[in-house]
A = this chain, B = another copy of it.
Amino acid sequence: MNIRRMLVLVVCSAVAGGWSACLADEGLWLFNKPPLRILKERHGFDPSTAWLEHVQKSSVRFSTGGSGSLVSADGLVMTNHHVGSDNLEELSTPDRNLLKTGFYATTRDQELKCEDLELMVLMTIEDVTERVHGAAPKRTAASIAQAARRKVMSAIETEAEQRTGLDCQVVTLYHGAWYHLYSYKRYTDIRLVMAPEESIASFGGDTDNFEFPRHGLDVCFFRIYENGQPLKPEHYLQWSKQGAADGDLTLVSGHPAVTQRLNTVAHLKFLRDIEMPATLENLWRREVQAQTFAGRSEENARIISGESGGVANSRKAFTGVIAGLLDPSIIREKLKSERELRLAVERDSTHQAEWGDPWDDVAVALETYQRFFDRYSALEGRRRALRSDLFAIAKNLVRLAEELPKPSGERLREFRESELDSLYLELFSPAPIYDDLEKYRLTTGLMALAQMLGGDDPLVAKAMGGLSPSERARALVSETKLKDVEFRKTLAKGGKQAIAESNDPLIRLVADLEPETRTLRQRYEDDVESAERDAYAKIALAQFATRGQDMYPDATSTLRLSFGPIKGYVEDGKPVAPFTTIGGAFARMEERKGVDPFKLPPSWTQHKDRLDLTTPFNFVCTADIIGGNSGSPVVNKTGEVIGVVFDGNIQSLVWDIAYDDAQGRGIAVDCRAIIECLRKVYDAGALADEITKP
């Protein structure tokens, strides 16, 4: 079992979170601390400062989560179809289902404005670690230190915004060992240019998701407008005509969301035994309930398709992570590495005195968390029970009234000054809200809340208002006025008093649940999050001290650089080639008898004759990617686009906690397939010309 052994070896070195002794192409590297030595030694590549700036400023962050890149002189942005699908859904109506039919604006005035999408381009990164650390004297209690740091972070952001006019965020790296100020140019006039049909973007559906060989045209195009005109960006990526070949180095610039590679073993076990099982349970429920809703009519299926896909995707991803956590070799190797590091700290009296036992601090924080995890997670975060659009609007309005009077640095983080523009965009979005879907979400959400906390729980009783879940949901949706954007604006303007006086049933529901929810959130931030952050910052410093600084921090939804060659792998004893072809999609359809989700759209079957079936379609590479990297451009050494990342294979799902490249791979759409399809399937020659124009 060579593969097995390789996995263990690699995991061993990966445990430290980017320890440089690692032989694999691991790492989610900072643009202001790029892996120059490794790139040079391992791949003979020595990117210039100009190269790095060009790629950085050609990269785009999507407010909806996900990555993208500027690919033309006229502000064209490429991303994944599944990154743009929320917008495609919002732009659809019962008579115009853009997810089903796809879309192409042959002229600029046909481009469709996306009401609540914003794109950000990272302009500068500045190290502000000293100032943030200076705000909290050493040996202050974690929660007090954290409050002091948040205050100064907010001040730094505000000062920088006033100075530069950019959107500024202080990013916490290594859980607080470092703080960097990221300044973005923010664009809000974004228009849809082209999207293929979902049936080819997500060809193979849940079955082929996270699998390879793969055949997905998971791509779509938006255009940034500024002052009513297409953006003329300073930087945008050139397109590679010839694409890349097996063994070529790829570089990926994107926004990986969250990794937990620095996690202690106790923390991994908490994920394995408490947090992930609870999250998965919630996903299983939501997946089944989304399908039930979708089954009732074609229109239901349309309006819930985005949610269904998202839930199934998360379910498959978390299942992969939990499978990794249940692999005894992974915990074993993590434990070994942790023991080495603890021993090194114990042996050094200075370190010992300064850091104490941060591993134990993490364990204590998690024991505390476990005591209120069920209630807290039922009300906030990934496992929360109530998650309808209207409920979310009500919750944001209630909290906005509470938070806005406070200084920015003392607010809940999502209400900080730097977040408000995005929040208002979402809160006042005219995106359609569907009564039936809202009723269904609230009915099932109320049932879930009761199942999580018990039917006689006082909080549940408040949520139910003396009615059955379905009666309550019906009443809430039919009586609320929150569907009216103007009503929302009035409430937001009215502040605390307007909220207190409002008799809107959803506002009242949220207000009833807020006291306990806020108490739990405070408890989480003070007793868990701050304590963890404090401890992990020390663990990171212990790593620097012991293993050197040639490493990368865990992902934080900020811009990172990954790299690695295009490379096949071996699975069940059989080689998996690194490229698929367009012809392979037709073969896969035939193999699965054209049954959904293996049914190519009519545009493909009609134009099959035109297509060069040998065109490379998707490829795999060892570049270290994770959720949030979706839509990241894959470039070659000269910075040309050779593809766009849209997925990782099933063996890469464990990368959340530990990278290995024995079998784990990122998956991208090949640049050649994009041009081939634009020209021959979608009659979008003008778009192809714009992209490939030198």
Residues on A close to B: CB < 8 A? 205-207, 269, 272-273, 276-277, 280-281, 284-285, 287-288, 291-292, 295-298, 315-316, 319, 322-323, 325-329, 331, 446-447, 450-452, 454-456, 464, 466-470, 592-593
Contact = CB atoms under 8 A, between A and B. Distances in A.
Q: How many copies of this chain sit in the oligomeric assembly? A: 2
A447 B467 CA distance: 37
Identify the interface centre among A288, A291, A296, A455: most chain B CB within 10 Å of its CB. A288
A287 B288 CA distance: 7
B326 A295 contact: no
A interface, by DSSP: helix, strand, loop or mixed?
helix
Contact of A326 (B206, B277, B298, B469): B469
Contacts of A280: 285, 451
Given A207-B295, A285-B284, A455 B327 contact: no
A273 B450 CA distance: 7
Contacts of A451: 273, 276-277, 280, 322
A316 B293 CA distance: 12
B288 A284 contact: yes
Contacts of A447: 319, 322-323, 326
A592 B327 CA distance: 45
Identify the interface centre among A296, A329, A467, A468: most chain B CB within 10 Å of its CB. A468
A456 B455 CA distance: 31
Given A273-B450, A326-B464, 9 more contacts: A269-B456, A273-B454, A273-B455, A281-B281, A288-B288, A298-B593, A322-B447, A325-B455, A329-B468
The 9 closest A-B pairs by CB, nearest first: A207-B295, A284-B284, A277-B451, A327-B468, A273-B454, A284-B285, A272-B455, A284-B288, A281-B281
A467 B470 CA distance: 45
Given A327-B468, A466-B328, A288 B273 contact: no
A265 to B, nearest CB: 11
Nearest to A293: B207
Contacts of A325: 455
Contacts of A452: 277
A178 B405 CA distance: 70
Contact of A323 (B298, B470, B592): B470
Nearest to A296: B207
Nearest to A446: B326
B284 A326 contact: no
Nearest to A448: B277
A288 B269 contact: no
Given A207-B296, A295-B205, A295-B207, A326 B285 contact: no
A452 B350 CA distance: 43
Contacts of A456: 269, 273
A383 to B, nearest CB: 12
A373 to B, nearest CB: 14
B467 A328 contact: yes
A478 to B, nearest CB: 13
Contacts of A285: 280-281, 284
A272 B451 CA distance: 7
Contact of A328 (B291, B319, B454, B464): B464
Nearest to A331: B455
A314 to B, nearest CB: 12
Contacts of A272: 450, 455
Contacts of A296: 207
A328 B452 CA distance: 17
A469 B323 contact: yes
Contacts of A292: 206-207, 316
A288 to B, nearest CB: 5
Given A298-B593, A447-B322, A455-B269, A468 B328 contact: yes
Contacts of A269: 455-456
A79 to B, nearest CB: 26
A452 B326 CA distance: 13
Contacts of A328: 464, 466-468
A326 B277 CA distance: 25
Identify the interface centre among A285, A469, A593: most chain B CB within 10 Å of its CB. A285
A292 B320 CA distance: 13
A157 to B, nearest CB: 40
A466 B327 CA distance: 9
A328 B292 CA distance: 25
24 contacts: A205-B295, A206-B291, A206-B295, A207-B292, A273-B454, A273-B455, A280-B285, A281-B281, A281-B284, A284-B284, A284-B285, A284-B287, A284-B288, A288-B288, A297-B592, A323-B447, A323-B469, A323-B470, A325-B455, A326-B446, A326-B447, A326-B455, A326-B469, A329-B468
A326 to B, nearest CB: 6
A447 B321 CA distance: 12
A277 B206 CA distance: 26
A297 B319 CA distance: 20
A378 to B, nearest CB: 12
Nearest to A285: B284
Identify the interface centre among A285, A326, A455, A467: most chain B CB within 10 Å of its CB. A326
A468 B288 contact: no
